[in-house]
Structure 1
Amino acid sequence: MNYKDAATLGQAVKTWREDHHYRMGDAAKVANIPYASFQRIEYDQGNPRIKNLALIARALDMSTDEVIARWFNDDDDKQKDQ
């Protein structure tokens, strides 16, 4: 699976990490974010800080806007409410 096709940001991060054969700590270092923050992102726990989101986006070779549009877009929820 291509990480950009993942259903959640956490799944995308995990796929990216596994594709590069990184352990979680190594991936956090490559992304330049704290291990605990990386772990929360990969496990889809809460919303990452914008700084960490930007760093993850760079690691995924995406813009922050692309990441937000892909995994934090709630347009589907808005359409269901109408």
Structure 2
Amino acid sequence: MMMKHSQTVLAKYGRRGISSIASSPLSSRVKHAWEEQNKLVLGLAFIGGWFVKANINVFKRREDWYRVHRFFDEEDKRLEEKLARFEKELDDDV
């Protein structure tokens, strides 16, 4: 379940990043520069910038992921404590 949520978040923000880049006025300037400049250098710069931006977004979301994992761990502990109390009550009744 957690993997599905991570994939959803990644897809959501990945699409948002790509669409915001495509619709920005800077993209027309980059396209013009692309025609005049070395395409390899501009391509590497674009890929590098996108990778850095994606990593920044992942690190921002990491706090939320840790909070969710901590919640699941605490819930597991509570369930184990309830199970132990229930088993103890059953043993005391018998």
TM-score, normalised relative to structure 1: 0.34
Structure with the bigger percentage of helix: 2
* Higher RCO structure, 1 or 2 (CA under 8 Å, sep 6+): 1
Which is greater in Rg? 2
